[in-house]
Structure 1
Protein backbone atom coordinates (compact mmCIF):
# COMPACT_ATOMS: atom_id res chain seq x y z
CA UNK A 1 0.00 0.00 0.00
CA UNK A 2 1.35 3.48 -0.83
CA UNK A 3 2.68 5.58 2.01
CA UNK A 4 3.24 9.32 2.18
CA UNK A 5 1.72 12.55 3.38
CA UNK A 6 -0.46 14.38 0.89
CA UNK A 7 -2.27 17.68 1.40
CA UNK A 8 -5.25 18.67 -0.73
CA UNK A 9 -6.22 22.34 -0.83
CA UNK A 10 -9.79 22.84 -2.06
CA UNK A 11 -12.72 20.48 -1.60
CA UNK A 12 -15.04 21.23 -4.46
CA UNK A 13 -16.27 18.26 -6.48
CA UNK A 14 -12.84 17.62 -8.06
CA UNK A 15 -10.80 18.26 -4.91
CA UNK A 16 -13.07 15.98 -2.90
CA UNK A 17 -12.74 13.19 -5.46
CA UNK A 18 -8.95 13.55 -5.44
CA UNK A 19 -8.74 13.56 -1.64
CA UNK A 20 -10.98 10.50 -1.40
CA UNK A 21 -8.97 8.60 -4.00
CA UNK A 22 -5.64 9.31 -2.29
CA UNK A 23 -7.05 8.39 1.08
CA UNK A 24 -8.55 5.17 -0.29
CA UNK A 25 -5.21 4.16 -1.82
CA UNK A 26 -3.41 4.47 1.52
CA UNK A 27 -2.02 8.00 1.64
CA UNK A 28 -2.12 10.03 4.83
CA UNK A 29 -4.23 12.99 3.76
CA UNK A 30 -4.69 16.45 5.16
CA UNK A 31 -7.42 18.63 3.70
CA UNK A 32 -8.19 22.33 3.76
CA UNK A 33 -11.10 24.30 2.40
CA UNK A 34 -12.13 27.93 2.70
CA UNK A 35 -15.52 26.75 3.96
CA UNK A 36 -14.42 24.53 6.83
CA UNK A 37 -17.69 22.56 6.92
CA UNK A 38 -16.70 20.84 3.68
CA UNK A 39 -13.89 19.06 5.48
CA UNK A 40 -16.32 17.10 7.70
CA UNK A 41 -16.98 14.15 5.33
CA UNK A 42 -13.25 13.80 4.81
CA UNK A 43 -12.34 13.82 8.49
CA UNK A 44 -15.10 11.28 9.09
CA UNK A 45 -13.44 9.09 6.44
CA UNK A 46 -9.96 9.41 7.96
CA UNK A 47 -8.39 12.63 6.70
CA UNK A 48 -7.10 15.39 8.94
CA UNK A 49 -8.49 18.90 8.53
CA UNK A 50 -6.12 21.87 8.69
CA UNK A 51 -7.39 25.22 9.94
CA UNK A 52 -5.14 27.29 7.65
CA UNK A 53 -3.22 26.87 4.41
CA UNK A 54 0.16 27.20 6.19
CA UNK A 55 -0.92 24.42 8.59
CA UNK A 56 -2.03 22.30 5.64
CA UNK A 57 1.29 22.94 3.88
CA UNK A 58 3.22 21.85 6.97
CA UNK A 59 1.32 18.56 7.06
CA UNK A 60 2.08 17.34 3.54
CA UNK A 61 5.20 16.39 1.61
CA UNK A 62 3.21 16.86 -1.60
CA UNK A 63 0.56 19.59 -1.76
CA UNK A 64 -2.18 19.31 -4.38
CA UNK A 65 -4.01 22.54 -5.16
CA UNK A 66 -7.55 22.28 -6.53
CA UNK A 67 -9.00 25.77 -6.18
CA UNK A 68 -11.23 28.05 -8.25
CA UNK A 69 -8.80 29.90 -10.51
CA UNK A 70 -5.30 31.37 -10.85
CA UNK A 71 -6.06 34.34 -8.60
CA UNK A 72 -7.35 32.09 -5.83
CA UNK A 73 -4.27 29.86 -6.10
CA UNK A 74 -1.89 32.77 -5.65
CA UNK A 75 -4.04 34.33 -2.92
CA UNK A 76 -3.74 31.21 -0.79
CA UNK A 77 -0.24 29.99 -1.67
CA UNK A 78 1.68 33.23 -1.28
CA UNK A 79 1.12 33.59 2.51
CA UNK A 80 2.27 29.96 2.88
CA UNK A 81 5.46 30.29 0.81
CA UNK A 82 7.77 29.63 3.76
CA UNK A 83 5.78 26.54 4.74
CA UNK A 84 5.93 25.21 1.19
CA UNK A 85 9.68 25.65 0.76
CA UNK A 86 11.35 22.35 -0.13
CA UNK A 87 8.03 20.67 -0.87
CA UNK A 88 6.30 19.61 -4.07
CA UNK A 89 3.28 21.67 -5.11
CA UNK A 90 1.05 20.28 -7.83
CA UNK A 91 -1.50 22.79 -9.09
CA UNK A 92 -4.54 21.04 -10.56
CA UNK A 93 -6.56 24.23 -10.85
CA UNK A 94 -7.52 25.19 -14.40
CA UNK A 95 -5.18 28.01 -15.47
CA UNK A 96 -3.88 29.44 -18.73
CA UNK A 97 -0.35 28.63 -19.92
CA UNK A 98 1.02 32.03 -18.92
CA UNK A 99 -0.66 31.84 -15.52
CA UNK A 100 1.01 28.46 -14.98
CA UNK A 101 4.39 29.91 -15.95
CA UNK A 102 3.87 32.84 -13.59
CA UNK A 103 3.15 30.54 -10.66
CA UNK A 104 6.11 28.34 -11.58
CA UNK A 105 8.42 31.37 -11.53
CA UNK A 106 7.01 32.43 -8.15
CA UNK A 107 7.52 28.90 -6.80
CA UNK A 108 11.12 28.77 -8.04
CA UNK A 109 11.85 32.07 -6.29
CA UNK A 110 10.65 30.51 -3.03
CA UNK A 111 12.41 27.15 -3.30
CA UNK A 112 9.22 25.25 -4.10
CA UNK A 113 9.24 22.35 -6.59
CA UNK A 114 6.28 23.10 -8.83
CA UNK A 115 4.17 21.11 -11.26
CA UNK A 116 1.22 22.47 -13.16
CA UNK A 117 -1.49 19.98 -13.99
CA UNK A 118 -4.55 19.74 -16.18
CA UNK A 119 -7.32 17.31 -15.29
CA UNK A 120 -9.01 15.93 -18.39
CA UNK A 121 -11.70 14.10 -16.46
CA UNK A 122 -14.86 14.60 -14.45
CA UNK A 123 -14.77 13.95 -10.69
CA UNK A 124 -16.40 10.52 -11.03
CA UNK A 125 -13.61 9.44 -13.38
CA UNK A 126 -10.79 10.08 -10.88
CA UNK A 127 -8.95 6.86 -10.10
CA UNK A 128 -10.19 5.10 -13.24
CA UNK A 129 -8.34 4.41 -16.51
CA UNK A 130 -10.63 6.96 -18.20
CA UNK A 131 -9.06 9.84 -16.28
CA UNK A 132 -6.24 11.62 -18.11
CA UNK A 133 -4.08 14.10 -16.21
CA UNK A 134 -1.34 16.17 -17.84
CA UNK A 135 1.62 17.63 -15.95
CA UNK A 136 4.43 20.03 -16.81
CA UNK A 137 7.15 21.86 -14.92
CA UNK A 138 9.77 20.49 -12.54
CA UNK A 139 10.61 16.97 -13.72
CA UNK A 140 12.09 15.98 -10.36
CA UNK A 141 8.86 17.08 -8.69
CA UNK A 142 6.99 14.82 -11.10
CA UNK A 143 9.23 11.90 -10.15
CA UNK A 144 8.60 12.51 -6.45
CA UNK A 145 4.84 12.94 -6.75
CA UNK A 146 4.48 10.34 -9.51
CA UNK A 147 3.11 7.42 -7.45
CA UNK A 148 0.39 9.60 -5.92
CA UNK A 149 -0.44 11.17 -9.28
CA UNK A 150 -0.70 7.75 -10.91
CA UNK A 151 -3.39 6.85 -8.36
CA UNK A 152 -5.61 9.57 -9.84
CA UNK A 153 -5.60 8.24 -13.41
CA UNK A 154 -3.37 8.20 -16.46
CA UNK A 155 -0.49 10.59 -15.73
CA UNK A 156 1.48 12.23 -18.56
CA UNK A 157 4.50 14.50 -18.13
CA UNK A 158 4.45 16.91 -21.08
CA UNK A 159 7.69 18.84 -20.50
CA UNK A 160 9.67 21.28 -18.39
CA UNK A 161 7.77 24.35 -19.60
CA UNK A 162 5.18 24.74 -16.84
CA UNK A 163 2.63 26.08 -19.34
CA UNK A 164 2.61 22.99 -21.60
CA UNK A 165 0.03 20.94 -19.69
CA UNK A 166 -2.39 23.86 -19.66
CA UNK A 167 -1.75 24.62 -23.33
CA UNK A 168 -2.43 21.03 -24.39
CA UNK A 169 -5.55 20.91 -22.22
CA UNK A 170 -6.89 24.18 -23.66
CA UNK A 171 -6.12 23.10 -27.24
CA UNK A 172 -7.98 19.83 -26.85
CA UNK A 173 -10.88 21.58 -25.13
CA UNK A 174 -11.03 24.06 -28.02
CA UNK A 175 -11.34 21.16 -30.47
CA UNK A 176 -14.07 19.59 -28.34
CA UNK A 177 -15.97 22.86 -28.00
CA UNK A 178 -16.01 23.55 -31.73
CA UNK A 179 -17.01 19.97 -32.46
CA UNK A 180 -19.96 20.11 -30.05
CA UNK A 181 -21.03 23.46 -31.50
CA UNK A 182 -21.13 21.68 -34.86
CA UNK A 183 -23.44 19.09 -33.31
CA UNK A 184 -25.79 21.88 -32.23
CA UNK A 185 -25.76 23.51 -35.68
CA UNK A 186 -26.75 20.20 -37.25
CA UNK A 187 -29.42 19.59 -34.61
CA UNK A 188 -30.86 23.08 -35.11
CA UNK A 189 -31.08 22.57 -38.88
CA UNK A 190 -32.74 19.15 -38.72
CA UNK A 191 -35.08 20.11 -35.91
CA UNK A 192 -36.81 22.51 -38.31
CA UNK A 193 -38.28 19.47 -40.09
CA UNK A 194 -39.14 17.58 -36.93
CA UNK A 195 -36.09 15.33 -36.58
CA UNK A 196 -35.34 14.71 -32.87
CA UNK A 197 -31.98 15.95 -31.62
CA UNK A 198 -30.93 12.48 -30.50
CA UNK A 199 -31.43 11.11 -34.02
CA UNK A 200 -29.31 13.85 -35.59
CA UNK A 201 -26.65 13.38 -32.91
CA UNK A 202 -26.38 9.71 -33.89
CA UNK A 203 -25.99 10.65 -37.55
CA UNK A 204 -23.33 13.24 -36.73
CA UNK A 205 -21.42 10.78 -34.55
CA UNK A 206 -21.23 8.24 -37.37
CA UNK A 207 -20.19 10.87 -39.90
CA UNK A 208 -17.49 12.41 -37.71
CA UNK A 209 -16.12 8.97 -36.80
CA UNK A 210 -15.55 8.40 -40.51
CA UNK A 211 -13.98 11.84 -40.99
CA UNK A 212 -11.71 12.05 -37.92
CA UNK A 213 -8.88 9.94 -39.41
CA UNK A 214 -8.55 12.59 -42.15
CA UNK A 215 -7.34 14.99 -39.47
CA UNK A 216 -3.86 13.52 -39.85
CA UNK A 217 -3.95 14.31 -43.56
CA UNK A 218 -4.83 17.91 -42.71
CA UNK A 219 -1.98 17.99 -40.16
CA UNK A 220 0.48 16.72 -42.79
CA UNK A 221 -0.51 19.59 -45.11
CA UNK A 222 0.02 22.12 -42.30
CA UNK A 223 3.39 20.63 -41.32
CA UNK A 224 4.45 20.65 -44.99
CA UNK A 225 3.71 24.36 -45.16
CA UNK A 226 3.36 24.58 -48.94
CA UNK A 227 -0.44 24.24 -49.21
CA UNK A 228 -0.14 23.06 -52.81
CA UNK A 229 -1.18 19.40 -52.76
CA UNK A 230 -3.98 20.01 -55.23
CA UNK A 231 -6.61 18.88 -52.74
CA UNK A 232 -9.66 20.82 -51.63
CA UNK A 233 -8.89 24.49 -52.13
CA UNK A 234 -9.81 27.62 -50.20
CA UNK A 235 -12.17 28.75 -52.98
CA UNK A 236 -13.82 25.32 -53.18
CA UNK A 237 -14.33 25.31 -49.42
CA UNK A 238 -15.73 28.85 -49.55
CA UNK A 239 -18.43 27.74 -51.97
CA UNK A 240 -19.33 24.70 -49.91
CA UNK A 241 -19.49 26.64 -46.67
CA UNK A 242 -21.56 29.38 -48.29
CA UNK A 243 -24.08 26.72 -49.31
CA UNK A 244 -24.29 25.40 -45.74
CA UNK A 245 -24.86 28.94 -44.48
CA UNK A 246 -27.59 29.52 -47.07
CA UNK A 247 -29.25 26.21 -46.20
CA UNK A 248 -29.25 27.14 -42.51
CA UNK A 249 -30.83 30.49 -43.18
CA UNK A 250 -33.43 28.97 -45.50
CA UNK A 251 -34.53 26.80 -42.58
CA UNK A 252 -34.68 29.77 -40.24
CA UNK A 253 -31.51 28.81 -38.40
CA UNK A 254 -28.78 31.33 -37.57
CA UNK A 255 -25.40 30.87 -39.25
CA UNK A 256 -23.47 32.76 -36.55
CA UNK A 257 -21.39 29.68 -35.72
CA UNK A 258 -20.36 29.23 -39.37
CA UNK A 259 -19.84 32.82 -40.50
CA UNK A 260 -16.43 33.37 -38.80
CA UNK A 261 -15.07 30.36 -40.71
CA UNK A 262 -16.26 31.81 -44.01
CA UNK A 263 -14.74 35.20 -43.12
CA UNK A 264 -11.32 33.60 -42.67
CA UNK A 265 -11.60 31.79 -45.99
CA UNK A 266 -12.70 35.01 -47.72
CA UNK A 267 -9.65 36.81 -46.29
CA UNK A 268 -7.36 34.11 -47.66
CA UNK A 269 -8.93 34.29 -51.09
CA UNK A 270 -8.74 38.08 -51.13
CA UNK A 271 -5.00 37.91 -50.44
CA UNK A 272 -4.35 35.62 -53.43
CA UNK A 273 -4.59 32.21 -51.75
CA UNK A 274 -7.86 30.96 -53.23
CA UNK A 275 -6.10 28.05 -54.94
CA UNK A 276 -4.20 26.99 -51.80
CA UNK A 277 -5.18 23.93 -49.80
CA UNK A 278 -7.91 25.01 -47.40
CA UNK A 279 -5.90 24.14 -44.22
CA UNK A 280 -3.96 27.34 -44.97
CA UNK A 281 -6.69 28.92 -42.87
CA UNK A 282 -4.41 28.20 -39.92
CA UNK A 283 -2.29 31.18 -41.03
CA UNK A 284 -5.26 33.44 -40.22
CA UNK A 285 -5.40 32.08 -36.65
CA UNK A 286 -1.97 33.35 -35.63
CA UNK A 287 -2.10 36.72 -33.94
CA UNK A 288 1.17 38.70 -34.29
CA UNK A 289 2.69 39.54 -30.89
Structure 2
Protein backbone atom coordinates (compact mmCIF):
# COMPACT_ATOMS: atom_id res chain seq x y z
CA UNK A 1 0.00 0.00 0.00
CA UNK A 2 1.08 3.56 -0.60
CA UNK A 3 1.53 6.13 2.13
CA UNK A 4 -1.70 7.79 1.07
CA UNK A 5 -3.82 4.73 1.66
CA UNK A 6 -6.01 4.81 4.72
CA UNK A 7 -6.55 1.97 7.16
CA UNK A 8 -9.83 1.23 5.39
CA UNK A 9 -8.31 1.05 1.90
CA UNK A 10 -8.11 -2.31 0.18
CA UNK A 11 -5.19 -1.26 -2.01
CA UNK A 12 -4.42 1.06 -4.90
CA UNK A 13 -5.63 0.40 -8.43
CA UNK A 14 -4.59 2.51 -11.41
CA UNK A 15 -6.99 2.82 -14.33
CA UNK A 16 -5.77 3.92 -17.74
CA UNK A 17 -8.58 5.29 -19.90
CA UNK A 18 -11.64 7.22 -18.79
CA UNK A 19 -14.20 6.58 -21.47
CA UNK A 20 -17.68 5.45 -20.41
CA UNK A 21 -16.47 1.99 -19.39
CA UNK A 22 -13.24 3.14 -17.74
CA UNK A 23 -15.16 5.73 -15.73
CA UNK A 24 -17.73 3.15 -14.60
CA UNK A 25 -14.90 0.87 -13.45
CA UNK A 26 -13.21 3.69 -11.52
CA UNK A 27 -16.47 4.60 -9.81
CA UNK A 28 -17.15 1.02 -8.79
CA UNK A 29 -13.64 0.38 -7.46
CA UNK A 30 -13.70 3.62 -5.49
CA UNK A 31 -17.12 2.77 -4.03
CA UNK A 32 -15.75 -0.66 -3.08
CA UNK A 33 -13.01 0.79 -0.90
CA UNK A 34 -10.03 0.88 -3.27
CA UNK A 35 -7.80 3.88 -3.72
CA UNK A 36 -7.92 4.74 -7.39
CA UNK A 37 -5.38 6.53 -9.55
CA UNK A 38 -6.63 7.64 -12.95
CA UNK A 39 -4.97 8.62 -16.20
CA UNK A 40 -6.48 9.70 -19.49
CA UNK A 41 -5.01 11.19 -22.64
CA UNK A 42 -7.42 14.12 -22.21
CA UNK A 43 -6.71 15.18 -18.63
CA UNK A 44 -10.01 17.02 -18.25
CA UNK A 45 -11.84 13.69 -18.10
CA UNK A 46 -10.10 12.96 -14.81
CA UNK A 47 -11.59 15.99 -13.04
CA UNK A 48 -14.92 14.40 -11.96
CA UNK A 49 -13.03 11.43 -10.55
CA UNK A 50 -10.57 13.61 -8.65
CA UNK A 51 -13.51 15.47 -7.11
CA UNK A 52 -14.99 12.11 -6.10
CA UNK A 53 -11.76 11.03 -4.41
CA UNK A 54 -9.49 9.53 -7.06
CA UNK A 55 -5.91 10.67 -7.58
CA UNK A 56 -4.87 11.97 -10.98
CA UNK A 57 -1.66 10.76 -12.61
CA UNK A 58 -0.15 13.15 -15.14
CA UNK A 59 1.52 10.30 -17.06
CA UNK A 60 1.03 6.61 -17.68
CA UNK A 61 4.35 5.95 -15.94
CA UNK A 62 3.14 7.77 -12.83
CA UNK A 63 -0.09 5.74 -12.84
CA UNK A 64 1.85 2.50 -13.32
CA UNK A 65 4.10 3.23 -10.36
CA UNK A 66 1.17 4.09 -8.10
CA UNK A 67 -1.03 1.02 -8.53
CA UNK A 68 -0.77 -2.48 -7.15
CA UNK A 69 -3.05 -3.42 -10.03
CA UNK A 70 -3.01 -1.52 -13.31
CA UNK A 71 -6.14 -1.77 -15.46
CA UNK A 72 -6.10 -0.63 -19.09
CA UNK A 73 -9.45 0.34 -20.62
CA UNK A 74 -8.22 1.99 -23.78
CA UNK A 75 -9.41 2.41 -27.36
CA UNK A 76 -7.86 -0.58 -29.11
CA UNK A 77 -4.87 -2.93 -29.34
CA UNK A 78 -2.62 -0.26 -30.83
CA UNK A 79 -3.32 2.14 -27.98
CA UNK A 80 -2.61 -0.59 -25.41
CA UNK A 81 0.81 -1.24 -26.88
CA UNK A 82 1.47 2.48 -27.37
CA UNK A 83 0.89 3.26 -23.71
CA UNK A 84 2.14 0.10 -21.99
CA UNK A 85 5.35 -0.63 -23.87
CA UNK A 86 7.20 2.52 -22.70
CA UNK A 87 6.40 1.78 -19.03
CA UNK A 88 7.38 -1.90 -18.87
CA UNK A 89 9.87 -1.16 -16.08
CA UNK A 90 7.24 0.63 -13.98
CA UNK A 91 4.86 -2.33 -14.43
CA UNK A 92 7.27 -4.84 -12.90
CA UNK A 93 5.76 -6.39 -9.77
CA UNK A 94 2.26 -5.19 -10.64
CA UNK A 95 -0.71 -7.12 -11.96
CA UNK A 96 -1.57 -5.73 -15.39
CA UNK A 97 -5.18 -6.27 -16.47
CA UNK A 98 -6.12 -5.36 -20.02
CA UNK A 99 -9.89 -4.80 -20.39
CA UNK A 100 -9.58 -3.13 -23.79
CA UNK A 101 -11.56 -4.87 -26.52
CA UNK A 102 -9.06 -6.75 -28.68
CA UNK A 103 -9.10 -9.84 -30.88
CA UNK A 104 -7.81 -13.16 -29.50
CA UNK A 105 -4.52 -12.92 -31.39
CA UNK A 106 -4.01 -9.32 -30.31
CA UNK A 107 -4.52 -10.45 -26.72
CA UNK A 108 -1.95 -13.22 -27.20
CA UNK A 109 0.51 -10.74 -28.71
CA UNK A 110 0.23 -8.43 -25.69
CA UNK A 111 0.60 -11.42 -23.35
CA UNK A 112 3.76 -12.47 -25.21
CA UNK A 113 5.15 -8.95 -24.87
CA UNK A 114 4.34 -8.97 -21.15
CA UNK A 115 6.06 -12.36 -20.71
CA UNK A 116 9.19 -11.04 -22.43
CA UNK A 117 9.33 -8.28 -19.82
CA UNK A 118 8.52 -10.50 -16.85
CA UNK A 119 5.13 -8.90 -16.22
CA UNK A 120 2.08 -10.49 -14.58
CA UNK A 121 -0.54 -10.08 -17.32
CA UNK A 122 -4.23 -10.83 -17.42
CA UNK A 123 -6.42 -10.24 -20.45
CA UNK A 124 -10.09 -9.54 -19.93
CA UNK A 125 -13.37 -9.10 -21.77
CA UNK A 126 -16.33 -7.18 -20.40
CA UNK A 127 -19.74 -8.77 -20.96
CA UNK A 128 -21.62 -5.73 -19.72
CA UNK A 129 -22.47 -2.13 -20.54
CA UNK A 130 -21.07 0.69 -18.36
CA UNK A 131 -24.28 1.08 -16.28
CA UNK A 132 -24.17 -2.66 -15.47
CA UNK A 133 -20.71 -2.59 -13.88
CA UNK A 134 -20.93 -3.81 -10.28
CA UNK A 135 -24.58 -4.78 -10.66
CA UNK A 136 -26.26 -8.17 -11.03
CA UNK A 137 -25.79 -9.45 -14.55
CA UNK A 138 -22.38 -7.90 -15.05
CA UNK A 139 -19.89 -10.54 -16.17
CA UNK A 140 -16.20 -10.26 -17.00
CA UNK A 141 -14.03 -12.96 -18.55
CA UNK A 142 -10.31 -13.34 -17.89
CA UNK A 143 -7.47 -15.42 -19.30
CA UNK A 144 -3.70 -15.52 -19.08
CA UNK A 145 -1.64 -15.60 -15.88
CA UNK A 146 -3.67 -17.61 -13.37
CA UNK A 147 -1.59 -16.35 -10.46
CA UNK A 148 -2.30 -12.76 -11.53
CA UNK A 149 -6.01 -13.62 -11.56
CA UNK A 150 -5.79 -15.03 -8.02
CA UNK A 151 -4.10 -11.85 -6.80
CA UNK A 152 -6.56 -9.48 -8.46
CA UNK A 153 -9.71 -11.58 -8.07
CA UNK A 154 -11.24 -9.76 -5.08
CA UNK A 155 -10.94 -6.42 -6.83
CA UNK A 156 -12.18 -7.80 -10.14
CA UNK A 157 -15.22 -9.37 -8.51
CA UNK A 158 -16.43 -5.91 -7.47
CA UNK A 159 -17.00 -5.20 -11.17
CA UNK A 160 -19.09 -8.31 -11.85
CA UNK A 161 -18.83 -12.07 -11.98
CA UNK A 162 -15.17 -12.91 -12.65
CA UNK A 163 -14.60 -16.09 -14.67
CA UNK A 164 -11.12 -17.39 -15.46
CA UNK A 165 -11.17 -19.04 -18.90
CA UNK A 166 -7.66 -20.48 -18.98
CA UNK A 167 -3.95 -19.82 -19.44
CA UNK A 168 -4.27 -18.99 -23.15
CA UNK A 169 -4.51 -15.19 -23.03
CA UNK A 170 -6.76 -15.14 -26.09
CA UNK A 171 -9.55 -17.24 -24.57
CA UNK A 172 -11.42 -14.41 -22.85
CA UNK A 173 -11.45 -12.35 -26.03
CA UNK A 174 -12.47 -15.36 -28.12
CA UNK A 175 -15.44 -16.14 -25.88
CA UNK A 176 -16.39 -12.46 -25.84
CA UNK A 177 -16.33 -12.28 -29.64
CA UNK A 178 -18.26 -15.55 -29.97
CA UNK A 179 -21.03 -14.40 -27.62
CA UNK A 180 -21.22 -10.99 -29.29
CA UNK A 181 -21.52 -12.74 -32.66
CA UNK A 182 -24.54 -14.63 -31.32
CA UNK A 183 -25.99 -11.39 -29.95
CA UNK A 184 -25.67 -9.47 -33.20
CA UNK A 185 -27.12 -12.33 -35.22
CA UNK A 186 -30.10 -12.37 -32.85
CA UNK A 187 -30.56 -8.62 -33.10
CA UNK A 188 -30.29 -8.60 -36.89
CA UNK A 189 -32.95 -11.29 -36.91
CA UNK A 190 -35.23 -8.89 -35.08
CA UNK A 191 -34.36 -6.10 -37.52
CA UNK A 192 -35.32 -8.42 -40.40
CA UNK A 193 -38.66 -9.17 -38.73
CA UNK A 194 -39.35 -5.52 -37.93
CA UNK A 195 -38.50 -4.45 -41.48
CA UNK A 196 -40.92 -7.00 -42.93
CA UNK A 197 -43.80 -6.20 -40.59
CA UNK A 198 -43.58 -2.42 -40.87
CA UNK A 199 -44.34 -2.74 -44.59
CA UNK A 200 -47.92 -3.43 -43.49
CA UNK A 201 -47.98 -0.79 -40.76
CA UNK A 202 -47.09 -2.93 -37.74
CA UNK A 203 -45.01 -0.94 -35.25
CA UNK A 204 -41.60 -2.29 -34.30
CA UNK A 205 -42.73 -2.31 -30.66
CA UNK A 206 -45.45 -4.84 -31.46
CA UNK A 207 -43.04 -6.97 -33.45
CA UNK A 208 -40.59 -6.83 -30.56
CA UNK A 209 -43.24 -8.26 -28.23
CA UNK A 210 -43.93 -11.10 -30.66
CA UNK A 211 -40.22 -11.83 -31.20
CA UNK A 212 -39.48 -11.88 -27.47
CA UNK A 213 -42.35 -14.30 -26.81
CA UNK A 214 -41.42 -16.55 -29.75
CA UNK A 215 -37.67 -16.70 -29.17
CA UNK A 216 -38.09 -17.19 -25.41
CA UNK A 217 -39.78 -20.50 -26.22
CA UNK A 218 -37.04 -21.48 -28.68
CA UNK A 219 -33.88 -20.55 -26.74
CA UNK A 220 -33.79 -23.91 -24.87
CA UNK A 221 -33.33 -25.62 -28.26
CA UNK A 222 -29.80 -24.21 -28.34
CA UNK A 223 -28.87 -26.97 -25.91
CA UNK A 224 -30.15 -29.57 -28.38
CA UNK A 225 -28.16 -27.96 -31.19
CA UNK A 226 -25.05 -28.16 -29.04
CA UNK A 227 -25.61 -31.85 -28.37
CA UNK A 228 -25.92 -32.51 -32.10
CA UNK A 229 -22.74 -30.55 -32.86
CA UNK A 230 -20.86 -32.40 -30.13
CA UNK A 231 -22.05 -35.74 -31.48
CA UNK A 232 -23.95 -36.58 -28.32
CA UNK A 233 -27.56 -36.54 -29.53
CA UNK A 234 -29.66 -36.23 -32.67
CA UNK A 235 -33.19 -36.78 -31.42
CA UNK A 236 -35.35 -37.70 -34.47
CA UNK A 237 -38.27 -35.81 -32.92
CA UNK A 238 -36.29 -32.58 -33.01
CA UNK A 239 -34.43 -33.26 -36.23
CA UNK A 240 -34.86 -31.02 -39.27
CA UNK A 241 -32.81 -31.92 -42.31
CA UNK A 242 -31.19 -29.81 -45.01
CA UNK A 243 -33.73 -30.86 -47.64
CA UNK A 244 -36.57 -29.49 -45.50
CA UNK A 245 -34.80 -26.36 -44.30
CA UNK A 246 -33.56 -25.15 -47.72
CA UNK A 247 -37.04 -24.40 -49.15
CA UNK A 248 -38.13 -23.00 -45.77
CA UNK A 249 -35.32 -20.43 -45.84
CA UNK A 250 -35.98 -19.80 -49.54
CA UNK A 251 -39.59 -18.96 -48.63
CA UNK A 252 -38.40 -16.47 -46.01
CA UNK A 253 -36.17 -14.81 -48.61
CA UNK A 254 -39.04 -14.67 -51.12
CA UNK A 255 -41.42 -13.24 -48.53
CA UNK A 256 -38.95 -10.50 -47.62
CA UNK A 257 -38.43 -9.56 -51.26
CA UNK A 258 -42.18 -9.55 -51.92
CA UNK A 259 -42.49 -6.93 -49.20
CA UNK A 260 -39.69 -4.89 -50.75
CA UNK A 261 -37.28 -5.74 -47.94
CA UNK A 262 -33.67 -6.86 -48.26
CA UNK A 263 -32.96 -10.51 -47.52
CA UNK A 264 -29.22 -9.98 -47.00
CA UNK A 265 -29.29 -11.38 -43.45
CA UNK A 266 -30.96 -14.61 -44.60
CA UNK A 267 -29.07 -15.38 -47.78
CA UNK A 268 -25.80 -16.60 -46.19
CA UNK A 269 -27.68 -19.43 -44.43
CA UNK A 270 -29.34 -20.41 -47.72
CA UNK A 271 -25.91 -20.44 -49.40
CA UNK A 272 -24.53 -22.87 -46.81
CA UNK A 273 -27.58 -25.12 -47.11
CA UNK A 274 -27.21 -25.13 -50.89
CA UNK A 275 -23.58 -26.20 -50.54
CA UNK A 276 -24.57 -29.11 -48.30
CA UNK A 277 -27.27 -30.24 -50.72
CA UNK A 278 -24.86 -30.01 -53.65
CA UNK A 279 -22.45 -32.38 -51.89
CA UNK A 280 -25.11 -35.02 -51.24
CA UNK A 281 -25.94 -34.06 -47.66
CA UNK A 282 -29.59 -33.20 -48.13
CA UNK A 283 -30.60 -35.73 -45.49
CA UNK A 284 -28.17 -34.34 -42.90
CA UNK A 285 -29.40 -32.35 -39.93
CA UNK A 286 -29.48 -28.71 -41.03
CA UNK A 287 -27.35 -27.84 -37.98
CA UNK A 288 -24.47 -29.40 -39.88
CA UNK A 289 -24.10 -26.09 -41.73
CA UNK A 290 -21.56 -25.41 -38.97
CA UNK A 291 -19.22 -27.69 -40.93
CA UNK A 292 -19.24 -25.04 -43.68
CA UNK A 293 -17.83 -22.36 -41.39
CA UNK A 294 -14.07 -23.14 -41.49
CA UNK A 295 -12.27 -20.92 -43.99
CA UNK A 296 -10.41 -22.91 -46.62
CA UNK A 297 -7.19 -21.02 -47.21
Same fold (TM over 0.5): yes
CA displacement, residues 25-49 of structure 1 (integer Å, 9 cap, x when unaligned):
1111111000011111111111111
CA displacement, residues 106-152 of structure 1 (integer Å, 9 cap, x when unaligned):
00111111111111111111111221111111010001001110111
Give SS of 2:179's match.
helix
2:25 and 2:84 map into 1 onto residues whose CA distance is 19
- Report if the CA contact (8 A) 1:2-1:25 is conserved: no
- Correspondence for 1:131: 138
Alignment length, in residue pairs?
A: 289
- Correspondence for 1:267: 275
- Report if the CA contact (8 A) 2:108-2:170 is conserved: yes
2:70 and 2:29 map into 1 onto residues whose CA distance is 12
1:27 corresponds, among 17, 25, 34, to: 34
Give SS of 1:64's match.
strand
Q: Give the CA deviation at 1:189.
A: 0.8
Q: Give the CA deviation at 1:288.
A: 3.7
- Correspondence for 2:186: 179
Which residues of structure 1 form unaligned runs of 5+?
none
Q: Give the CA deviation at 1:228.
A: 9.4
- Report if the CA contact (8 A) 1:139-1:160 is conserved: yes
What are the equivalent positions in structure 2 for 1:33-48 lying under 5 Å apart? 33-48=40-55
- Correspondence for 1:254: 262
The structure in which a higher percent of residues are helix is 1
Runs (4 or more) in structure 1 with deviation over 3 Å come to: 225-230
TM norm structure 2: 0.94
CA displacement, residues 84-106 of structure 1 (integer Å, 9 cap, x when unaligned):
01210000000111110000010
2:66 corresponds, among 56, 59, 62, to: 59
What root-mean-square deviation, in Å, do the aligned CA atoms of Structure 1 and Structure 2 show? 1.4
1:85 and 1:126 map into 2 onto residues whose CA distance is 28
What are the equivalent positions in structure 2 for 1:96-245 lying under 5 Å apart? 96-224=103-231, 231-245=239-253
1:49 and 1:228 map into 2 onto residues whose CA distance is 60
- Report if the CA contact (8 A) 2:9-2:35 is conserved: no
